Amino acid sequence: MKTLNQAVSVSGKVTKFIVTEKILGLITRLIDVGMIYIFVEGGSYAALKCFVLMTPINIIMTIVIIYLIDKISDLGFDITGIEELRKMEYVTCERKQYIKRLIRWVLHRKATIFWVGSWYYLDPDYVTLLIRDQKRSFWSNILRITIPSTVLAMIIWTLFYWAAYQGYQWVKVFTD
């Protein structure tokens, strides 16, 4: 019965993490809407305008999200489940605890979390919360993780939206 309780505990932590990430993902989609608008209305140099205008907005929004999550955490609430997951990084696991072992393996790959998480599944806010050093100050973590993660995400997503919009323009030429 002990392993069933442990499995439920782990799945609850992972579920909380995924649900909160999806909610925060909806908030950060506002950046995507702004980027797409700039491409549609931007004309010449739309990619550059998009990057220059939206990157600072994204950085500020990410800092605010991290700050609010930290303040809520200071009140004793772990709304993201990240702190619970981070504790699992140092837990000893039995051989049959596959989910815990997988989570531990992922948490030990901080570079992978940064390079892939910044733009693919997670957003820069979650990347910062996952790999930050609790011993460093808030602003130190922002400078070391959040800003580079946001810039990386913005470069990749600006290029993606630029390519998608170019494809749309190309198809539009042949269908008009």
pLDDT at 88: 64
pLDDT for 6 beyond 60: no
- Contact, 136 vs 92, CB < 8 A? no
Query: Can you tell me the distance from the alpha carbon of 106 to that of 118, in angstroms, rounded to the nearest whole number?
Result: 15
- Which phi and psi (to 5°) does residue 91 adopt? -80, 140
Tens of pLDDT along 114-171?
777 777 666 888 888 888 888 899 999 999 999 999 999 999 889 998 898 888 888 8
Q: Which residues contact 62 (CB under 8 A, 6 or more apart)?
A: 28, 123, 124, 125, 128, 146, 150
Q: Smallest Cα–Cα separation from 39: which of 169, 176, 143?
A: 169
Domain ranges within the chain, ordered by starting residue? 2-175
User: Please, which pLDDT band fits residue 8 given cuts at 50, 70 and 90?
Assistant: very low
Tell me, what DSSP letter sits at residue 137?
A: -
On the question of pLDDT at 70 being above 90, the answer is: no
pTM of the model: 0.75
CA–CA separation, 171 and 176 (whole Å): 9
What digits encode the pLDDT tens for the residues 86-119? 666 566 666 676 666 666 666 666 777 777 777 7
The mean of the pLDDT values for the chain is 80
